[in-house]
Structure 1
Amino acid sequence: MVVPQKVFFTKGVGVHKDKLASFELALREAGIEKYNLVYVSSIFPPNATTVSREEGLKELNAGEIVYCVMARNETKEANRLSSAAIGLALPRDANEYGYLSEHHAYGETALVSGEYAEDLAATMLATTLGIEFDPDKAWQEREQIYKASGKIIETTHICQSAEGDAEGRWVTVIAAAVFVL
């Protein structure tokens, strides 16, 4: 059974005339360009810990197959704002699983996209834990309900946003939760 023990978060932006090259540059800025990335769905493993990007990267080797949850967005339109975010929600009980969510959008600031991704992860976790809430309430109100329940200990996010290049080059933004086995 393959269950990651550690997770780190990273983000990056790349700009290039070629779409694929701009993605590669975003991966480089995020520090994850030398791995064979496999995208997985959004479960934060029970008993896993979050570590810094630097600590996580020390445990990985070039060419290694590395699992991640990734949000990605790109644009070639001048001044078009794009964003990519990963949200995290962890239960108080470390033996339970948490949730990661990915969100990518146009026209949203990093804060708006990041909070949206955080809200998604927290809402998914809240529904599995049986926390009652009004889905029509604002995120900040629901966040307080989730945390006051005593069942959710932490929510957070990471987001990368960037404006489209004035010269028409591709701009790619990524955010990722990277698993370390």
Structure 2
Amino acid sequence: MRNRLFFGFMLMALSLALAAPATAQNFGPRIPTAYFATTGTGQSDQGIEPDPYETFSYDLALQDAGIENFNVVYYTSVLPPESYEVPLEKVKPFIHHGSVLETIMAKAGGVKGQTVAAGVGRVWAKNSKGVEIGGFAAEYEYIYKDGGISEKQARENARAQLTRSLNHELDIRGLTQSRPMTFEVAVLRITKKYGMALAALGFVGFIYPEPFDLPAPEK
């Protein structure tokens, strides 16, 4: 008898759920605000194929950059108008071990004798009315296979290419630059078996826009 009553109630609840109208939900993707900029390099005689620099060397580069205790995920390259830069040193006391760090990151890995360079640049943009609408980032990753380039030249090459990339972001949208470009570049001449350089923006603050309704379609 109890089993019959239980299943009866379950069937009634299921019927009511299926008959209920679709619930309206409030949508509004969150907006990243505060971010820090950092760079790091790492090299090791250990590595796992097929990308041996993506294991030990990458871990050491993350550590050198001060972000080794985050779970890192990747963005593309758009900076909201609400975003602003903060020093990593101010963020470190509040880092929770294993928390998610959403990043715009460039990383370049190589082998002994090569020089690797990674960089992230930023530019802020205004529209035809002179209103600043936000910004863009660009990533640079390069492997000098002969390794003979100087660190100074590698940095200059990175900044030059990042400048071209950022200007491209503006040009394709009909925007103009509103603030000086900024760059983070890491360069490593690899002396061990494997090595990696990385540069990243790490987002640590978020806001939410005014929600808007996107009702689910009726069944």
Deviation per CA, 1:39-90: give whole Å up to 9, x if none.
0100112211111121233443221111001111111132x11100101001
Q: TM-score, normalised by structure 1?
A: 0.79
How much identity, in percent, do the aligned residues show?
Answer: 22
1:94 is displaced (CA, Å) by 7.8
The answer to whether the aligner puts 1:44 opposite 2:89 as a matched pair is no
Q: Residues 52 and 102 from structure 1, CA distance in 2 versus in 1: closer, same or farther, beyond 3 angstroms?
A: same
Alpha-carbon offset, residue 95 of structure 1 = 5.7
Alpha-carbon distance, 1:116 to partner = 1.3
Mapped to 1, the partners of 2:78 and 2:93 lie a distance apart of 23
The equivalent of 1:143 in structure 2 is none
**Aligned-residue RMSD, C-alpha:** 2.0
Instruction: Quote the residue 1:153 is aligned against.
Output: 179
Q: Is 1:31 equivalent to 2:49 in the alignment? A: no
Contact 1:12 1:28 in 2 (8 A): yes
Q: Could you tell me which runs of 5 or more consecutive residues in structure 1 were left unpaired when the two chains were aligned.
A: 132-145
Residue equivalent to 1:178 = 202
Q: 3-state DSSP class of the match of 1:109? A: helix
Name the counterpart of 2:190.
164
What amino acid maps onto 2:133 in structure 1?
Answer: E
Say how many residue pairs are matched. Answer: 159
3-state SS in 2 of match to 1:89: strand
* TM-score normalised by L of structure 2: 0.66
Corresponding residue of 1:83: 117
Gaps (5+ residues) in structure 2? Answer: 1-28, 47-52, 145-152, 206-219
Is 1:117–2:166 an aligned residue pair? no
Given that 1:60 and 1:180 are in contact with CA atoms closer than 8 Å, whether structure 2 keeps it comes out as: no
Residues in 2 aligned to 1:177 and 1:77: alpha-carbon distance in whole angstroms: 27
Q: Is the 8 A contact 1:46 1:94 kept in 2?
A: no
Matched residue type, 1:85: G
Matched position secondary structure for 2:180: strand
